[in-house]
Amino acid sequence: VRVVFDLINGTSTDIDGRTFASDTAYDIYIQVDSNSKTLSQPATWSGGSNLGSDDTIYLVGNGSDIINTSGEAVTQGNMSPLKINWMSGAYLWTSHFSRSYSYSYSEVNLFASTLSTLINIGPVFTTLPGTGPTFTSTSPSIFVSAG
């Protein structure tokens, strides 16, 4: 099931009462402005702890490479001690998502419950798949939190 958190327009997919189910595989896309830290708060989803190894999270730009605080293109995400780190350009931990750009950041909540399971980190896309996708990285990673 495809779930999109559009942090440019402040929307999220509205299905299943915005609750993740443990018996459903999700492709979760977090879309940000490629060249800005500005985030608009979407409606949150509950059931973050129901996500698992059959679910994948993708970071998506809006037509160009996502730029990090150092002015470099974000090409992949990886697990740091307690969060997903997309090359100092974006972070996801517990229920929060933050976007860093030009040495400052913004933050929004994506989940009403704690994200604390095994989750795959997919490639970084420059556009939302289905709208002419290109991506920066092809190597998926795994996110494991101690929760």
What tens digit of pLDDT does each residue of 24-60 get? Answer: 999 999 999 999 999 999 999 999 989 988 999 999 9
CB 70 within 8 A of CB 88: yes
What tens digit of pLDDT does each residue of 8-23 get? Answer: 999 999 999 999 999 9
CB 109 within 8 A of CB 95: yes
